[in-house]
Amino acid sequence: MYARGEASVVAWLKETRRLSLDDIGESADPLTFPIESGRFHGGRLVVWRPPSSVTGSEIWGALPPSSLAADGPAGDDLERRVEQLVRFLRLVASFAADLERTKARIRKREADFQRLCEAMPDPLAIHAGGRLVYLNSAAVEKLGYASDDALVGQPIATVLHPDDLDLMRARVEHMSRTGETVAPTPERLLDRSGEPIDVEITAFPLEFRGRESFVAIARDVSQQRLIADALGAEKERLAVTLRSIGEPVITTDRYARVLMLNDAYALFSGAKPEEATMQPIEEVLDLRDANGVAPAVHPIRELLEAKAESSRVSSAILVDRTGAAHSVTVHATTIRDANGRRLGSVCIIRDLSDERAGERERARREKREALGVLAAGLSHDFNNVLTAVIANLSLARSFGDDHPERVRHLREAEAAALRARDLTLQLMTFAQGGSPVLRVASLEGVLRRALQAVTMTRATLFEIAVDEALWPVEIDASQLQQALTALVEIARESLPLDQPLRVAAHNGVRDDAMPQRFVELTIELDPETPNALELDAEAQPSIPGGRSDLALAAAHSIIRQHRGSIRTESRGPSSFVVIELPASTKPGAPMISDAPPTVGDRVLVMDDEAAIVHVFREILSRSGYRVDSADNGRDALEMHRRAIQSGDPYRVIVLDLTIHGGLGGVETIERLRETDQDVPVIASSGYFEDAVMANYADYGFSDVLKKPYSALELTEAIDRVCRVPRSRGDE
């Protein structure tokens, strides 16, 4: 049996001229015709033209003569053979119909796939055997070509960067072996001009037009790279900004997870940035209330959930990684993008420890200033009274007496008054300080006067060792004597009554790169006392018995203001207070001669305390001076003017710095120096912390007298300034 196509059958029919196709209509049953000529002469022709829904062409078949009986086919046998042929033809027709339908579906799918590829905004290319077989319009446009004619059939290397060829080959080998899709991979394409294009390639295998092919979809990431670079630069700027901020800072996302913390917070809390990133805010910023209880909702999370703009925790306890607690405030602000969407928050943590310490220090300073104001006012008035008392006692002793007991009592009264003066000096030193009035002097005299002051209150045995050529130092003798007296008294109290107190003064040189000369004072102590002499944080030392000692605090302050040092140390079995003061390179002060002053020299005293003026008159008159007085600056200036005009000028003028309701010493000397640059002027004041007392020469004064002072101190000061040559000569 043979099945023949329409073309051969039509040719055969034309040859036999026995049948026309028009005579055959669509039928479910085949038709049988005898073959009377040709190669199949004597056979039978079976023609079946099935409905067009089954196949679009006729199915022909022929039964050759050899398949028929020699004497002609019997009817049943011919029918059977025709049925077999028809079944075969039906099967062929079914296969043909399926094939046609499959081809149609394939054509449709290819058309749909191509439409889909063309609709894609991303470039897409299909390659097989290392060559391009298809590119969509987006790919052609991205590569800079007018059509795909110049690309289809070209090697894939035409459009791929040379450095990425090995990556492409590895991708193709992987897809061919596994059939898997390859995730986006950074690569570079080359456009028509050879410029690289940054893309991410997603690839998968595909049978295309009957061949194993590979689809590559390119996503242009050039703009993303620019955005990423800009974002990276912005993040770096933010990181630099955060690092430069001195206060601890944390940034979070909108879910209250930590994004970044600066170095200040890492140092403050002990948190490690690499471990803190993306951790919940509660794990990194551990906040508690004053009772150590964590809040039910963390303030930062509460801020983000409430969609508020800012939040402030004015007082909280932050627990760091070591468990230490810090008093802090937390200020958090919501971060939003250009469209107002919440991105997260930035939290600034402020450590209140220094602020609280500063507040305590300010409170102490304010208390000290208040104490200083009170002490200054009291000491000024008290010093005026003491000046009159001490001067009168000194004057009384100077008259002499045949009764030794009376003289002794006067001396003890004067010593007691001087101790009262020391008390006011201690109070002022501790409360406000006060710059010392420095003069070049020997420490030996100051040390001996301090020892003498102690012996006037209690019987004491001393052993003194002083270098013969003790270097001079620049000191305020009255302040330093006060400090040494306090230290000697403490040392005396620490020793048994029958043990002498050893005191020494020696020269020393500090053997540094720049050798420095100093004078060292040592005062023996009981071995248990040194620790008790150390100052605490409040600069208030304690001595045995637990009492706070104002004198010791003043002693420490005075020695520091003299650029000296004080410490306790053990030397063998004994302990000592060791004081070091820098030696002076200036010549020592000239000794005051015992020669009587020039008879009749005039002295003008300006003071608003009548008792002081009265005793000054007597003291200076007994020393050979003629004394005038004024209770304010205006009168003093007028008296000075008249004295100049009379040809009998004042040899020395003593001005009290503070005159209640009148012109004081500073204002008076300013006007005085406008007309007289030479007359010696001594400043006198009960406010020893006044800057004028420490820098008297800057204000035009020749010397200073700190109230209260004795008759001897007054006459010594006047004698000192009288021995200074005057530029105009004596008048």
Q: What residue has token string 């021995």?
A: 723
The encoded tokens of residue 600 equal 């009749």
Contact 86, 30 (CB under 8 A): yes
The encoded tokens of residue 636 equal 């003093």
Q: Under DSSP, is residue 35 helix (H, G, I), strand (E, B) or coil?
A: coil
Contact 630, 604 (CB under 8 A): yes
Residues of the chain with pLDDT under 70: 1-79, 81-82, 85-86, 89-90, 93, 368, 371-372, 375-380, 398-402, 409, 418-419, 421-435, 456-459, 512-514, 527-551, 587-599, 688-690, 724-731
The encoded tokens of residue 497 equal 């009554």
What phi, psi does 445 have (nearest 5°)? -65, -40
Helix axes 711-722, 353-398, angle to 10 degrees: 90
Q: What angle do CA 700, 703, 706 make, to 5 degrees?
A: 120
* Contacts for 584-589: CB closer than 8 Å, 24+ residues apart: 584/440, 584/471, 584/472, 584/473, 584/474, 586/440, 586/472, 586/474, 587/440, 587/472, 588/440, 588/441, 588/442, 588/472, 589/439, 589/440, 589/441
The encoded tokens of residue 283 equal 């794990």
Torsion of CA 616, 622, 623, 627, to 10 degrees: 50
pTM, two decimal places: 0.42
- Written as one string, the DSSP assignment of 456-508 is TTS---EEEEE-TTPPPEEE-HHHHHHHHHHHHHHHHHHS-TTSPEEEEEEEE
Q: Please write the tens of the pLDDT for every residue from 599-636.
A: 578 999 999 888 888 888 888 888 888 999 999 999 99
Specify the pLDDT at position 620: 87
Helix axes 404-431, 550-561, angle to 10 degrees: 70
Burial of 113 by CB count in 10 Å (0-12 exposed, 13-18 middle, 19+ buried)? middle
- Domain 120-220 belongs in CATH node 2.40.50.100: no
Burial of 436 by CB count in 10 Å (0-12 exposed, 13-18 middle, 19+ buried)? buried
- Produce one character per residue of 522-546: b if its CB has 16 or more CB atoms within 10 Å, e if not: bbbbbeebbebbeeeeeeebbbeee
Rounded Cα–Cα distance for residues 520 and 508 (Å): 7
Closest among 652, 663, 645 to 604, alpha carbons compared: 652
Specify the pLDDT at position 39: 63
Specify the pLDDT at position 459: 62
Fold of 374-582: Heat Shock Protein 90 (3.30.565)
Contact 704, 684 (CB under 8 A): yes
The percent helix, strand, coil of the chain (3-state, each to 5) is 45, 25, 35
CA end-to-end distance (rounded Å), the chain:
168
**What is the identity of the amino acid at 568?**
T
Specify the pLDDT at position 61: 56
Fold of 602-722: Rossmann fold (3.40.50)
Specify the pLDDT at position 635: 94
**What is the identity of the amino acid at 389?**
V
Question: How far is Cα of residue 619 from the mean position of the Cα atoms in its chain?
Answer: 66
Helix axes 665-672, 633-646, angle to 10 degrees: 30
Continuous H helices in 3-155: 6-16, 75-119, 137-142
Rounded Cα–Cα distance for residues 585 and 590 (Å): 15
β-strands 310-319, 325-336 pairing:
antiparallel
Q: Under DSSP, is residue 626 helix (H, G, I), strand (E, B) or coil?
A: strand
- Cα-based distances in Å from 112 to 109, 152, 206, 629: 5, 20, 15, 124
Rounded Cα–Cα distance for residues 235 and 657 (Å): 65
Contact 387, 707 (CB under 8 A): yes
Domain residue ranges in the chain: 2-100, 120-220, 249-351, 374-582, 602-722
Closest among 481, 490, 550, 480 to 523, alpha carbons compared: 490
Q: In this structure, is the dihedral angle defined by the CA atoms of residues 409, 411, 417 and 420, taken in order, positive or negative?
A: negative
Considering the four listed CATH numbers 3.30.450.20, 3.40.50.850, 3.30.365.10, 3.40.50.720, the one that applies to the domain covering 249-351 is 3.30.450.20
Question: How many CB atoms sit inside 10 A of residue 152's CB?
Answer: 15
Continuous H helices in 518-673: 550-561, 610-622, 633-646, 665-672
Q: Under DSSP, is residue 250 helix (H, G, I), strand (E, B) or coil?
A: strand
Rounded Cα–Cα distance for residues 616 and 668 (Å): 20
Given this chain, do its domains 120-220 and 249-351 carry the same CATH topology? yes
Q: Under DSSP, is residue 176 helix (H, G, I), strand (E, B) or coil?
A: helix
**What is the identity of the amino acid at 314?**
S
Question: How many CB atoms sit inside 10 A of residue 728's CB?
Answer: 11
Specify the pLDDT at position 525: 82
Specify the pLDDT at position 167: 92
Q: Please write the tens of the pLDDT for every residue from 379-420.
A: 667 777 777 777 777 777 766 666 777 777 677 777 777 667
Q: What residue has token string 């140390």?
A: 569
Q: In this structure, is the dihedral angle defined by the CA atoms of residues 52, 53, 54 and 56, taken in order, positive or negative?
A: positive
User: Sheet holding 703-706: strands in order across?
Assistant: 626-630, 602-606, 652-656, 681-685, 703-706
579 backbone φψ class: left, alpha, beta (φ>0; ψ -120 to 50): beta
